[in-house]
Structures are given as C-alpha cells and as structure tokens.
Amino acid sequence: MIKDVLPRNKIPVEHTWDLYSIYPNDDAWEKAFEEVSTELSKLNEFQGRLSESPTVIADWLDVSEEIFTKLGKVYLYAHLFHAADTADQLASVKNAKAKTLFAKTFAANSFSYPELLAIGLDKLNQWIKSEPRLAHLEHHLDKLARQQTHIRSKEVEELFSLVQDPFETASTTHRLITDTDMTFPAVIGTDSTEYTITQGSIRSLLVYPDRKVRHDAWKNYADQHLAYKNTMANCLMTVAKQHAFMAKAKRYNSSLEASTSKSHIPTDVFHKLIETYRKNTPTWHRYWRLRRKILGYSTLHEYDVWAPLTTSSPNISFEQATEWICEGMKPLGDEYVSVMRRGICEQHWVDIYPNKGKTAGAFSACVKGTHPFILMNYTNDIFGLSTFAHELGHSMHSYFSKNTQPLIYAYYTTFAAEVASNFNQALVRHYLFRTNGDRNFQIALIEETMANFYRYFFIMPALSCLELEIHERVERGQGFSADELISLMADLFAEGYGTEVEMDRERIGITWAKFSMHLYMNFYVYQYATGISAAHAISQKVLNNEPNAVENYLAFLKSGSSMYPLDALKMAGVDMTSPTPIEDTFDVMRQLIDRLEVLTNP
C-alpha cells in the first residue's frame, strides 16, 4: 500500500525507464528537432511531381519514411518525459513543441494521397510492379482505394493536418486538469493512518481492506472530478464537435463510420458488441450479488466493487511479477520470453512506480527505431502484476510489428491494439491458476480477473454507449451539459448494477471525466471489449495446443497494419464480425463466478 507518493526527483534511477536510449541528452533532442524541421523542405520538393514516374514515388517514399522515423523519436522522447512528470514545465514545453512539429510534418506530406489518387489506381498498381522499392504497397493502395471518396484535395488535406495540433487542446486541457491541477484530500484510515491520493495511488486505495479508506478515497476522487465537471464537459463536447466536423468534411455519414471505416470495420461490429453486452448484464447482477454475500454486507456500494474478498491477498514484488509473467508466456516460445525479459531487466523499458505528477494508469509506447517503453504506477499486488502483463503485451506487439514491417505498416491498428495486452493477461492468469493452488491466492486472482472484466466488459461498453449518444446529439446539432452527461452515465451503470448495487448517481455519473484520454479518441473505447474477446478466443487455442495456434498468433503480432485487422484476427483464429467471441468471453466470466462461489462456500 502506498501511504505517500514521492516527487519525481526522489525516484531511484534504476526504477525509471531509460529515455536516454532515444537521445543521449536534451541537446541531442534539440538537434534532432531542428533536423526534422529543416528537412520538411525535402517533402515540398516532391509536391506536384508524384505523377512523373514510379521512381519519383519511390524517392518520395524513401525521404518521407526517413523524416517520419526521425519525427517519431523526437515526439516519443518529449512525450515520455512529460508523462513521467506533467508538472515539469520544461518537459511540457518540449511536448508542446513536438506536437506542433508532428502536425507540421503531416501537413507537409498531405499532398501525397490526393496526388496518388489523381494518377489512378490502375496505373499505380502497374507502377508498383515495375519498381521494386514499391512492391510492398499493394495493401496500402487497397486502403487508398477504399478511402478514395473520403480523401479531399491536397489543400484541404493540408488543412486537416494543420488543425490536428489545435484540435489536441481539449484533450490536453482535460489531462492537465486531472494529472496536474487536481489535488485530492488525503484519506485517514480507521487506524488513523494517512494515505495520499494521486492518479498513481487511487487504484490501490480502492482495493484496500479498510472500507472507510475505500469509501473516502472513492468519494474524494469523484468529488474533485465533479468540481471540474463543467470545464471537462465542455472539453468533451468540443472534441465531439471536432469529430463530427471531420466526419462531415471527409464525407462520412457519422463520427462512428469515420472511425471504423479507416480499418475496414463495419459499424455493425460496434452495435453487436453493445447488443451482446446488454443481453448479458444478468451475469454482472449475479456477480454483484455473490460479492455482497462474500463480503457480508447488507448493501453493496460502488466503492465495494473492488473490495478484497480475502484477508490474505498476495504481496507481489515487481521482480516476482517479472518472473511469473515470463513463466506464463512460455507457450509462445523462447524468443518471445527472452526479448521480454531482456527489455525489463537490461534495457530498462519500464518506469515502475508512482510519483507526483505522473500520468495516471499505465501505457506502452514505441516508435520505429526504439524499443518499447512502459509507464507503470506499480503496486505490489495481483493487480499490479496483471497491469504489467497487459502493458508487456502491447510492448511485444510493438516490438514484433516494428521489427518486421516497413514504416508504412509498422503501427498496428487500434482495433487490434487491445488483443495482445489481454492475451498476455489470459496466459499469465492460466499459469497462476495452474501453479498456485492456495485458496486465498485463487480468490485474489479471480478478483483481479473480474476487476479487469469490470473495466473492459462493463465500464467500456457503458462508455461506448455514452460516446454514441453524445456524438449523435452533436451530429443533430444538439449539445449536452455536465449534468446531462452525469445522468446518462448513471443510467448506463444502473443497467449493469441492476438492483444489486446502491448507487450514488452523481459520483458514479462523473465516471466519464476520469477517462482523460480514451473518450477523446474517436470511438476507441468499444475496442477494449472487442479486444478482450478476441484475446480470450485466441488464448484458448494456444493453451489447447491447437495446430499452428502459436505460429498464427505470432504472425498476427508481426503483421502490424499490413492487413486489415479483421483479416489479421481471422488469421489468428477468431472472427470478430460475429458476436460469438463476445458471448464466449461472457462464458469465461460465468465460469469464474462459479469457481468463486465454490471457493467461498463455507
């Protein structure tokens, strides 16, 4: 349990990531920043010339890939320093500069799609067969063909690129409020111990055995978000308007279609997820009923949904977590495990523990030419272990895709993003269930698994419903207030809680404001639920030793965006156009609840 959170400069360097593996110092970053800024003129030299020959296109592609590879490193270095300490003003300035350069670079290259389309797809297909340096562009041209009606003139596309930087203002404002400006009243336990609340420590307080600590932490955390509700609602409405503007400007029927069509995903996949979730809410009602019974409470409240169900939860050091994760991932083979272990232990991929000003939660980030970096707010428990396994899944996905694919396909799609992370968690949990038969450990592991499902198969579908509603309102020319968002969110939680959880509508209704990144990414959150479903389907094939299951999964990791995500997932053995993987994952939940019921019966 974290009783106090240190400032960044008090964190031992061995517990931090090695950002100097990107650049040896800030001066080197500044030099690289200036290089990219200067080299943008090289892109201008190709404007209006792509139709000359396949050789010119190949030369442009070589130059643009070199510049974008450099840009990725410039952006990543600044972004990670800022994420580790959002109160560091110098890091904030670097991050802002990098974002601006990012937008300028895309603007400088924005002529390319309109010019390529003007050549004609038939001619382009002939050219890529005649120029070896273009041989890998076949899938890219197919994507271009599908997006043809949504790509505007080079002047308009340049404008779209230029507005991306100012369009970031709403999400940046939200993150600055939550990560920097918010201060939370400390929590006093029943034993008079004081606990500090930060974005990095809140989760550990919500799973604390002392119900007073959980209640006060949940209340204080929610109340601070409520204090900023109007500003954050305005930020969210701003970004919804931006999404609607971009969708209309690019000739899509809706913001949802604009999001899904980029990866060739039917909007029906989104709607089937919501329909399947709502059909299975009785499974959640059953879990809340069992949880209340195990805890011995007459009434279950929102701050009890993470309450420990055993008095002997395991203490798991970061070093122990590393060992168990490496053991759990052995079905994928020696290369996978050795790369992962070396990254953790030798290359310092991970920024491990919370500090003041650190970005909430956890994430993995990687660009072409660097190894992955993982931001953690690690706590010595089963939840910290599972989150670490999750982020390592993202990191290994990035490692394989960026080391296999050329830059144009090196970054996997958002629809595929949450598959590898949840796959890792599934394999590690299977290993721990199999190798540690202690009753309390098994209960704690089920708790963690259900908490993960709560996030991915409860909160995220609820947020997806909210996201659809607010975008549809904006697209109809309507707006929404903070109180309307709170009421909508509370209604959606009431569906999943049923009559089993006593709700504080205002405090649970502010949940949307606690997601300072996810809701600003146009229809991203539903992909958490589809991702966990695909992950469980594929993990079962690997654990059952089905023929070629491991090889197919590794091929999926290496594919990056060289295939449409639905096709890549079919290659790995799962069809996400069907609701079956979602139904099957609810079956996994039901089996866990059955197991918990047996373990907790007297």
Instruction: Extract long-range pairs of 185-193: CB within 8 Å, 24+ residues apart.
Output: 185/220, 187/213, 187/216, 187/217, 187/220, 188/212, 188/216, 189/213, 193/3
Pairing of the two strands 187-188 and 194-195: antiparallel
501: β partners: 300
350: β partners: 374
Count CB-CB contacts under 10 A for residue 278. 13
Reduce the DSSP state of residue 316 to 3 states and report it. Answer: coil
**585 exposure class (CB count in 10 Å sphere: 0-12, 13-18, 19+):** buried
Please, are residues 391 and 363 in contact by the beta-carbon 8 Å criterion? yes
Q: How far is Cα 195 from Cα 185, in angstroms, rounded to an integer?
A: 9
Q: How far is Cα 251 from Cα 152, in angstroms, rounded to an integer?
A: 9
Count CB-CB contacts under 10 A for residue 533. 28
**408 exposure class (CB count in 10 Å sphere: 0-12, 13-18, 19+):** middle
Query: What does the DSSP 8-state code read for residue 152?
Result: -
If we measure between CA atoms, which residue out of 252, 296, 553, 179 comes closest to residue 400? 553
Pairing of the two strands 300-301 and 363-365: unpaired
Please, are residues 469 and 237 in contact by the beta-carbon 8 Å criterion? no
If we measure between CA atoms, which residue out of 161, 128, 159, 165 comes closest to residue 144? 128
Q: In this structure, which amino acid lies at residue 27?
A: D
Q: How far is Cα 257 from Cα 265, in angstroms, rounded to an integer?
A: 9
Please, are residues 305 and 459 in contact by the beta-carbon 8 Å criterion? no
Q: How far is Cα 488 from Cα 16, in angstroms, rounded to an integer?
A: 40
| 66 flagged as catalytic | no
Catalytic residue from among 115, 391, 418, 447: 391
Count CB-CB contacts under 10 A for residue 125. 14
Pairing of the two strands 350-351 and 373-375: parallel
Q: How far is Cα 600 from Cα 602, in angstroms, rounded to an integer?
A: 6
Please, are residues 490 and 422 in contact by the beta-carbon 8 Å criterion? no
545: region left, alpha or beta (phi > 0 left; psi from -120 to 50 alpha): left
**Backbone phi and psi for residue 365, each to the nearest 5 degrees, phi listed first:** -140, 145
Helix (H) or strand (E) holding 75: helix 54-84
Active-site residue list = 391
